[in-house]
Structure 1
Amino acid sequence: MARPNPKGPQRKVDIYCARCRTQLFRYRKGGKGALVKCFIERIVEDYTDTPCVCPGCGAEFARQALIRGVPAYKMIGGKVIVK
Structure 2
Amino acid sequence: MAKPNKKAPTSTVNIYCAKCRTQLYKYKKGGKGALVKCFKERISEDYTTTPCHCPGCDSMFARDTLVRGTPAFKMIGGKVMMK
Q: TM-score, normalised by structure 1?
A: 0.97
Q: Give RMSD over aligned pairs.
A: 0.6
Cα offsets for 1:5-63 (capped at 9, x unmatched)? 23311000000000000000000000000000000000000000000000000000000
Percent identical among aligned pairs is 70
Name 1:73's counterpart in structure 2.
Answer: 73
- TM-superposition CA deviations, 1:44-83 (whole Å, max 9, x none): 0000000000000000000001000000000000000100
Question: For residue 9 of structure 2, what is the aligned residue in structure 1?
Answer: 9
- Residue aligning to 2:60: 60
Query: Residues 66 and 72 of structure 1 are in contact (CA less than 8 Å); yes or no, is this contact kept in structure 2?
Result: yes
Distance 1:49 1:7 in 2: 27
Q: Aligned letter for 1:17?
A: C
Tell me, in whole angstroms, the C-alpha distance in 1 between the residues paired with 2:7 and 2:46: 17
Aligned length: 83
Structure 2: which 5+ runs fail to align? Answer: none
Is there any run of 5+ residues in structure 1 with no aligned partner, and where? none
